[in-house]
Structure 1
Amino acid sequence: MPIDRRELMLGAAASAWIMPQTVLAATTGHSAKPFPLAAIRLRPSDYATAVEVNRLYLHRLSPDRLLHNFRKYAGLEPKAELYGGWESDTIAGHTLGHYLTALVQTWEQTGDGEMRQRADYIVTELAEAQAKRGTGYVGALGRKRKDGTIVDGEEIFPEIMKGQIKSGGFDLNGAWSPLYTVHKLFAGLLDVHAGWGNAQAMTLLVGLAGYFERVFAALDDAQTQEVLGCEYGGLNESYAELYARTGDRRWLAMARKLYDRRVLDPLAAREDKLANFHANTQVPKLIGLARLYELTGAEKDRTAATFFWERVTGHHSYVIGGNADREYFTAPDTIAQHITEQTCEHCNTYNMLKLTRHLYGWQPDGALFDYYERAHLNHVMSAQDPSTGGFTYMTPLMTGAPREYSTVKDDAFWCCVGSGMESHAKHGESIFWEDDAGGLIVNLYIPADADWARRKAKLTLDTRYPFEPESRLTFTRVKAGRFPVALRVPGWAAGKAAVTVNGSAVTPVFQRGYAIIDRRWIAGDTVAITLPLELRIEEASGDADTIAILRGPMVMAADLGPASVKWDKADPALVGSDLLAAFTPAATPGRYATRGIGRPADLEFVPFYKQYQRQSAVYFKRFSDAAWVRQEAAFTAEQARLKDIAARSVDTMFLGEMQPERDHGLTSEISYPVAYRGRNGRDARSGGYFEFAMKTKPGPLVLQATYWGDERSRTFDILVDNVKVATQTLNADKPGQFFDVDYPLPEGLTRGKAQVKVRFLPHDRSSAGPVFGVRLYTVKPGVTV
């Protein structure tokens, strides 16, 4: 059944940042489109700084180094050495696609002519590589053979056409997400073509599109679905866009074929089955469906895209607007159980903002931009370090977890480096919109100058929002006439916006999350809006006593000190009956100190996004005074328990840490160190194992292993000196916590031995662990095991 705007927005109102006040039953029927990026010039602000830092970063990168594999695998001599990180792995080439898009966007946003020259140069180089191959294919992705050598990834596609398909979530016949990499190149070339009509880019696109049309033509439906089980990015969107540019229905058919039924059919049926799916693998698929809806009007595509957006923003997102823990969606409304050092992959939010723009363009509603603003300010802006130009992969929300940025060595090239260089090239893209009736919409309060072609107008938006409450829009030039100006009133403002025109108070019409002033405008007119930037509390879904503090759209964080000093203290808590009354504003806007409510001490609160090289606390446990007394008692009891076990411990193994693993003679196959919620561990995949030695002593002993309580289903055996002592199944049995499992050992297994070998062995098609530590301890006297 098709979803209408009212259903969408009423569902989204469950989200903490989409308030019911912004949702109206009536719709206008208007669509909207953003001002072209080239029509916007940012005025001084943190956003303008981010664009400039990113522009210099793009200059720092070498096109020839990014082109290394494209030339090498085509049989041409590379012109520069290969970059490291992901660009030296089988996913090589994805960065060049992002780079092309970022070059186009930076040229549009800043007018830097070098950006356009570099993009044209890269297209010329790619055309040479495509011609040398002679198949239409061009690419840099690799394929890892069984001996570990990496070769030209194109060799997997003839195998796939023969039905020889080995597809996993991220591996396809030995290549790392190859169609994802193809999509990035496809998207970059589309942007170069759109930017200034580069005809050579279109030639490249048609050749590349035809190559993969032939690959998929060789597959039956079941084989197609098997291939699509491996991440393919938004390749459906690229084919849809190619159809829009050329009118060739071959490309529309391809866009339709790239449809992962396992993920997309439930969404089209308005079913949330997102838990345990890799998050960023899915978002681009929905962007593709959104583009297909725009081109074909298919309601099923619209339903899937809108339902997905509503579920993710309202039921799977953190306070900063990001989503996913360890890259995966969890069960809906369980954020409080997943506040870790691996939250909020940047690529996810980059793509969610793209999806939001599609939905907004169909039927504008300010509530959509309430989400957009939050994620853009708090997540995207935190993901770039302005001192280095580096990017985060994750933006951790666990207390004391520092952000990790890519370095000036340019040796990472994660996916989020690619989406990062795009995100910070285009901070002006969503400030101003116009609806199809000729009205002006201001969606983001970011200082900027703009040209509005339709009204032959020049606009200036002056503001220090979100640090100061007023934003002032001036028509420095305009073809005089009557039209509406809609200024977004965020849901958290609860309708308390004050509007003036030329300094005099006016009473606007409040509709769809906007204050609307409809009048005859002339050059020199100024309209200003003042929004109440008050502190407020938001509860994390899953636990009403896990809270965050916001000021207007801005997430606040307790500053815990420099990232270079490891945080090893207890997580701070907030105690009291009226927490916000204990916040005192500092002389600098956007900074506060608490009085009497912080435990173990009071705190200074600052904007989260600015904590680039600092440690933060974002989520806090909230207690009444009486509850805090009980909490302290429980904490004391738990510390006593741990102290007792430590006193009886014979040996302790800290898995995932280099020196302890060496000291205990760890051996392994298909096994990897992991880190989660500040604890190191290790797992083993199907066909692998890990094993290590532990000291013993006479008497009954207990082997204890620590696990995380939300692991997806897996089963493994635990062996001591090759004797199975237990079979362990993990299946999200203890949500939101680490837990210990004790395995009493038969005395005969350790009698007379100075040490034993402990092995974790996964069952077929399963994993062992992760295990976050193993301990061998003596049984308490008088206790029978």
Structure 2
Amino acid sequence: MRQNISSKFITLTDPEVANAQKQTLKYLLQLDPQRFLATFDQVAGIHPTAPGYQGWERTDGLNFRGHFFGHYLSALSQAVQSVRDPTIRQQLLDKIRIGVNGLQTDQGAYAEKHPGSAGYVSAFREVALDEVEGRQVPESQKENVLVPWYNLHKVLAGLLAVDVNLQNVDPNLSDKALTIAHRFGLYVAKRLDKLTAPKQMLKTEYGGMNDALYELFDLTHDERMLTAAGYFDETALFKQLAEGKDILPGKHANTTIPKLIGALHRYESLHDSQQANQFLNAEETASLAMYLQAAVNFWQIVVANHTYVTGGNSQSEHFHEPGQLFHDVVLADGATTCETCNTYNMLKLSRALFRVTGDKKYLDYYEQTYTNAILGSQNPTSGMMTYFQPMGAGYTKIFNRPFDEFWCCTGTGIESFTKLGDSFYFWEKDTLYLNLYFSNQLRLISNNLQIDEQVDRKSGKVHLAATRLRMKDQAGTINLKLRRPAWLDQPAKLSVDGTPCQINQNADFWEIKNVGDGTVVDLELPMSLRIVHTKDNPHYLAFKYGPYALAGQLGDYQVNADRPNGVLVRISTHDQAAPATLTTDMDWQTWERSLSDQVIVKTQTPYSLFELKLPNISEQLTFIPYYQTHDTRYGVYFQWQQAGSKEAQHRQDQLSALNEYRQKTVAELTNFDNNNFEFDKHLLQERSEVSNAKGRRFRVAHQDGWFSYQFSLAKAHPDLSLMLTFNVEDAGHSIVVGFNDDHKFDQVLTVAENHPTDSKGFYQVRIPISVTLINNHRDIKLVFSSAGGNTARLFGIRLFNS
């Protein structure tokens, strides 16, 4: 197996990448670990020394408290590996020490008060876990934490990162972090062993608990950690994916990706025959190949069917129908494409898959996503990071505020920007794989070699020079493999020590043997323009120039405007007047042929790598790399159209109908996620749950169960109606619809077997809303309850003006 080379051996010298790291370090040092510890102290019965942070870390209102502190510990420990400045390293270590010592104190204090729960360390009470495990919890005792295992995963992962990254820096602090993590792992194992229905907890997002517990097993060789990790393995899901089934539509993307990271971690930890013989029975050993195949197939499905030109995926945090990117960008809410957490986790999965398989495609995806979706997620001036990354035209990037939001994507963001060099290189025996073409300096201690990689990213020229690290000692030699980029359309040129080499232009890697002191390598990777189509609309286009996804610059109209989404998230508004088309008098084939000859690329530009202008279109658009786009409206995808064509008229009719639909809509909910989107509508429920079917999310109430939402009536007219979406597969099932807890308005709806439906069996029922429920009301409460047995599944709620 290949191993990635740690950031501690790499110095970033690319000015933009180095700035991204610098901005993040500045942010980390502005944060106070005592404030993150405040809620952990409260749970442990200790008076906090500082007030807690707000945003997702708040205690009043729905929250994700504790999650960011885990990300923070991971990022601090990674930064210690990456930073050379001794003063900054010491400041980072001081913050880690405060955090780890605080968690140690809280864990010990909690164990004294609750000896039966020794090891528990958290920002919220254990009752939050009781509830997701299916236990009945009195309303007065409930916690307001949405996804408790998800939050705990971040804390556990942070402690493990401190242990791994500080082993050779501060062994005592490293050991302390591992001890806290191990004690917590023992608590988890003890708790899970008592569960009578362990699969119930898997219905609520739990992050990468399996991945972290497998890591804890790797570090401790404690078989109890291996057993605990297995509780979080969704083997039914893994088997479906291993069989090649695309069962992703309707699933929450960032809930699903970490599950497969964990599946692959199980394979990595146990595939060695000695490990397998010691810890697995014959059936478990035989199943390891299924875990690997599930991860391989999942990755392929996501990249082939659900991924945008930047490498990002998802819309409104979910996977939808395969190949429906135009639909998700234009016909759905285009402000919520490409949750940045997903890109972080897809890179984590890709890196592990390359380690295991050696397949270059994982590195090609890594370059695509790192270059565009990761570097493009940070504002280079403020250092702040995105939640969503809109792909459609007329949007802007919305970056987090530093001290009162603490989104999930800010947490993964500070991790991404403190490990920017960790996948530049991989090592296998005596072979070094060069993955990413960004300027850096690599130190190979055991070979007494330093490799300086200098990259002119405007031209695609790469210069590598190997020298001795220690002049008094002899240098060794290595074999060097240079990745051939997937975007390369023109012949590359390679020379070694000034001598041109004959190379296979279709090879996965170009190998250079016996690289040692004094070896000089020059590589030319010429860039060209490439069109990227969406499958559901072949004339909905994005563009790449070399590895860089392009963004058309659309001006700064209300560029700082945002709108609320989910729990305390802000997303981009849409400038309807911004150009969203590429209009030409030519037919498609003629226009496409004109691109290669007539496209204008300027590299003498002060604020971007280059500027690019497309020929023969009426819109005046300048494109620059997407990752360099910020503080402006932009478009990544545009609709190509021939002026006056039926296609252009069809698009206009489609958009007019969509605009009318949106104008009439007062409120809508189709994303039943038991998370951000439902709680934004003030979800309350008893004995109900969410799932997905036929590519859509739904909520269902069980016997004596119910659920309710509250919708604003700010846009309502007297002719308000309610539209509910059902599926004919639920024929015979009923649901009671209530309004404002006034039972005289209750209606019982029963799914009819012979109702006309769409191709997947969905249909809608319209209910006029009484003006009595509208007049003098700011909101309307909708209650859905059982009429006996399970309700019909509810796939959509829409309030609209008729």
Q: What amino acid sits opposite 1:568 in the alignment?
A: Q
CA contact (8 A) 1:559 1:614 kept: yes
Between the two proteins, the alignment pairs up a number of residues equal to: 684
Give per-residue Cα distances to partners, 1:380-432, cap 9 Å, x unaligned.
11111121121111111121122111114x11111111100000011111112
Of 603, 624, 627 in structure 1, the residue corresponding to residue 621 of structure 2 is 603
Matches within 5 A, 1:354-753: 354-408=348-402, 410-436=403-429, 438-465=430-457, 467-477=458-468, 479-480=474-475, 483-494=478-489, 496-508=491-503, 513-518=508-513, 520-562=514-556, 564-565=558-559, 567-569=575-577, 571-575=580-584, 576=586, 577-579=590-592, 580-581=595-596, 582-586=598-602, 587-588=604-605, 589-598=609-618, 601-625=619-643, 628-634=644-650, 654-655=666-667, 670=683, 686-688=707-709, 690=711, 692=713, 722=745
Q: What amino acid sits opposite 2:4 in the alignment?
A: P
Structure 2 residue 91 is the aligned partner of structure 1 residue 114: yes
Secondary structure, aligned partner of 1:592: strand
Unaligned ranges ≥5, structure 2: 112-116, 168-173, 272-287, 560-573, 669-680, 686-698, 701-705, 786-790
* Partner of residue 779, structure 1: none
CA contact (8 A) 2:735 2:750 kept: yes
Distance 1:190 1:211 in 2: 16
Matches within 5 A, 1:187-202: 187-197=157-167, 198-202=174-178
* Partner of residue 203, structure 1: 179
Distance 1:210 1:356 in 2: 30
Q: What amino acid sits opposite 1:596 in the alignment?
A: N
In the TM superposition, residue 728 of structure 1 has moved relative to its aligned partner by 10
Secondary structure, aligned partner of 1:105: helix
* Partner of residue 126, structure 2: 154
- Bigger drift between 723-732 and 262-271 goes to 723-732
CA contact (8 A) 1:366 1:490 kept: no
Q: What amino acid sits opposite 1:585 in the alignment?
A: V
Give per-residue Cα distances to partners, 1:598-644, cap 9 Å, x unaligned.
4xx2211111111121111111222345xx4324544676799999x
Distance 2:653 2:294 in 1: 49
In the TM superposition, residue 593 of structure 1 has moved relative to its aligned partner by 2.0
In the TM superposition, residue 196 of structure 1 has moved relative to its aligned partner by 2.2
Of 91, 99, 103 in structure 1, the residue corresponding to residue 76 of structure 2 is 103
Give per-residue Cα distances to partners, 1:289-344, cap 9 Å, x unaligned.
11111121121211111111111112211111111110011122222211111011
Secondary structure, aligned partner of 2:487: helix
CA contact (8 A) 1:451 1:457 kept: yes
In the TM superposition, residue 137 of structure 1 has moved relative to its aligned partner by 3.2
Distance 1:758 1:418 in 2: 34
CA gap 1:768/1:451 in 2 versus in 1, 3 angstroms: closer
In the TM superposition, residue 513 of structure 1 has moved relative to its aligned partner by 1.6
Structure 2 residue 298 is the aligned partner of structure 1 residue 308: yes
In the TM superposition, residue 494 of structure 1 has moved relative to its aligned partner by 4.1
CA gap 1:756/1:405 in 2 versus in 1, 3 angstroms: closer
Percentage identity across aligned positions? 26
Q: What amino acid sits opposite 1:68 in the alignment?
A: A
Distance 2:155 2:684 in 1: 32
CA contact (8 A) 2:394 2:635 kept: yes
CA contact (8 A) 2:582 2:640 kept: yes
Of 97, 117, 139 in structure 1, the residue corresponding to residue 121 of structure 2 is 139
- Normalised by the length of structure 1, the TM-score is 0.78
Q: What amino acid sits opposite 1:106 in the alignment?
A: A
* Partner of residue 54, structure 2: 84
Of 156, 159, 179 in structure 2, the residue corresponding to residue 186 of structure 1 is 156
Secondary structure, aligned partner of 1:517: strand
Secondary structure, aligned partner of 2:257: helix
Distance 2:480 2:232 in 1: 41
Q: What amino acid sits opposite 2:461 in the alignment?
A: E
* Partner of residue 135, structure 2: 164
CA contact (8 A) 2:726 2:794 kept: no
CA contact (8 A) 1:509 1:517 kept: no
Secondary structure, aligned partner of 1:68: helix
Distance 2:304 2:652 in 1: 37
Distance 1:527 1:715 in 2: 70
Distance 2:750 2:710 in 1: 14
Distance 1:654 1:159 in 2: 33
Q: What amino acid sits opposite 2:442 in the alignment?
A: A
CA contact (8 A) 1:237 1:255 kept: yes
Structure 2 residue 102 is the aligned partner of structure 1 residue 125: yes
- Bigger drift between 561-570 and 684-693 goes to 684-693
CA contact (8 A) 2:379 2:385 kept: yes
CA gap 1:615/1:709 in 2 versus in 1, 3 angstroms: farther
Distance 2:131 2:419 in 1: 40
Q: What amino acid sits opposite 1:101 in the alignment?
A: S
- Normalised by the length of structure 2, the TM-score is 0.77
Of 252, 258, 272 in structure 2, the residue corresponding to residue 278 of structure 1 is 252
Secondary structure, aligned partner of 1:562: coil
CA gap 1:695/1:46 in 2 versus in 1, 3 angstroms: closer
CA gap 1:717/1:52 in 2 versus in 1, 3 angstroms: same
- Bigger drift between 543-552 and 46-55 goes to 543-552
In the TM superposition, residue 257 of structure 1 has moved relative to its aligned partner by 2.3
Secondary structure, aligned partner of 1:175: coil
Secondary structure, aligned partner of 1:614: coil
Secondary structure, aligned partner of 2:510: strand
Secondary structure, aligned partner of 2:354: helix
Distance 2:654 2:232 in 1: 52
Distance 2:45 2:393 in 1: 50
Distance 2:648 2:555 in 1: 25
Distance 2:765 2:582 in 1: 31
Unaligned ranges ≥5, structure 1: 1-30, 143-152, 657-667, 673-682, 697-701, 777-785
In the TM superposition, residue 485 of structure 1 has moved relative to its aligned partner by 1.3
Distance 1:399 1:529 in 2: 36
Give per-residue Cα distances to partners, 1:13-61, cap 9 Å, x unaligned.
xxxxxxxxxxxxxxxxxx3212221001111421111000000000011
Give per-residue Cα distances to partners, 1:682-722, cap 9 Å, x unaligned.
x99933454859666xxxxx867899999x99999699995
Distance 2:254 2:212 in 1: 17
